[in-house]
Structure 1
Amino acid sequence: MLSILVPHYNFINQTLFLELELQCLSLPLDFEIIVIDDASLTPYKNYLNQFNKAYFNIIFLDKNIGRSAIRNLLAAKASYPFLLFLDGDSCIKHPNFIKNYLNFVQQNPAADLVCGLRNYPECLNKEYLLHHYYGTKVEMLASKQAFHSSNFLIKKEVFKALQFDERLTHYGYEDVVFGLTAKAKGYTIKNSDNPVIHLQLKTNQQFMADTEDAVQNLAQLMQLPQYEIILKEIPLIRIYLLYKKTGLWHLLAGLKSRLRKNLEQEKPNATSIKKLQLYKLLHLHYCLS
Structure 2
Amino acid sequence: MLSILIPTYNYNVYNLVLELHKQCMELGIIFEIIVIDDGSNSQTNETNNQINLLKNSTFIPLNKNIGLSSNRNLLASNTNYENLLFIDGDSVIINPNYIKNYINAIQDFDIIYGGRVHPETVNSSKQKLRWKYGRMVEDKPAMQRNSALYKTLMFNNTLIKKSRFNEIKFDSNLTKYGHEDTLFAYHVSLLQFKVKHIDNAIEHGDIDESKVFISKIKNGLDNLISIDESNKIDPDFVKILKLYHFLKKYNLNFALNVFYKLLNKMIHRQLISKNPSLFLFNLYRIGYVCSLKK
Residue ranges of structure 1 left out of the alignment (5+ in a row):
none
Task: Name the SS of the counterpart of 1:42 in structure 2.
Answer: coil
Indicate yes or no: 2:181 matched with 1:182.
no
1:59-208 alignment, distance < 5 Å: 59-106=60-107, 109=108, 111-121=109-119, 122-141=121-140, 145=145, 146-208=152-214
Identify the match of residue 268 of structure 2 among 242, 260, 271. Answer: 260
Checking the alignment, whether the CA contact within 8 Å between 1:85 and 1:149 is kept in structure 2 is yes
The amino acid that maps onto 1:210 is K
Checking the alignment, whether the CA contact within 8 Å between 1:67 and 1:171 is kept in structure 2 is yes
Identify the match of residue 288 of structure 1 among 276, 289, 293. Answer: 293
The amino acid that maps onto 1:18 is L
Residue in 2 that maps onto 1:27: 27
The amino acid that maps onto 2:99 is I
The amino acid that maps onto 1:157 is S
1 CA distance for matches of 2:173 and 2:3?
A: 25
Number of paired residues?
281
2 CA distance for matches of 1:25 and 1:217?
A: 39
Report how far residue 13 of structure 1 moved: 2.9
The amino acid that maps onto 1:125 is S
Identify the match of residue 240 of structure 1 among 241, 244, 248. Answer: 244
2 CA distance for matches of 1:124 and 1:36?
A: 29
Report how far residue 267 of structure 1 moved: 0.8
1 CA distance for matches of 2:257 and 2:2?
A: 53
2 CA distance for matches of 1:263 and 1:64?
A: 30
Task: Name the SS of the counterpart of 1:222 in structure 2.
Answer: helix
1 CA distance for matches of 2:205 and 2:182?
A: 21
Identify the match of residue 256 of structure 2 among 249, 263, 288. Answer: 249
Report how far residue 54 of structure 1 moved: 4.0
Checking the alignment, whether the CA contact within 8 Å between 2:112 and 2:158 is kept in structure 1 is yes
The amino acid that maps onto 1:126 is S
Checking the alignment, whether the CA contact within 8 Å between 1:24 and 1:98 is kept in structure 2 is yes
Indicate yes or no: 2:252 matched with 1:210.
no
1 CA distance for matches of 2:245 and 2:263?
A: 20
Indicate yes or no: 2:18 matched with 1:10.
no
Give % identity.
34
Checking the alignment, whether the CA contact within 8 Å between 1:164 and 1:178 is kept in structure 2 is yes
Report how far residue 25 of structure 1 moved: 0.6
2 CA distance for matches of 1:97 and 1:250?
A: 45
2 CA distance for matches of 1:93 and 1:4?
A: 17
Task: Name the SS of the counterpart of 1:226 in structure 2.
Answer: coil
Structure 1 pair 102–222 and aligned structure 2 pair: CA distance change class (3 A)? same
Report how far residue 257 of structure 1 moved: 2.1
The amino acid that maps onto 2:127 is Y
Checking the alignment, whether the CA contact within 8 Å between 2:257 and 2:288 is kept in structure 1 is no
Task: Name the SS of the counterpart of 1:29 in structure 2.
Answer: coil
Checking the alignment, whether the CA contact within 8 Å between 1:183 and 1:189 is kept in structure 2 is no
Report how far residue 251 of structure 1 moved: 4.3
Structure 1 pair 37–250 and aligned structure 2 pair: CA distance change class (3 A)? closer
The amino acid that maps onto 1:141 is K
The amino acid that maps onto 2:94 is K
Report how far residue 213 of structure 1 moved: 0.7
Report how far residue 211 of structure 1 moved: 1.1
Report how far residue 28 of structure 1 moved: 2.9
Checking the alignment, whether the CA contact within 8 Å between 1:10 and 1:45 is kept in structure 2 is yes
2 CA distance for matches of 1:252 and 1:203?
A: 25
Report how far residue 279 of structure 1 moved: 0.9
Q: With structure 2 as the length reference, what TM-score do the two structures score?
A: 0.91
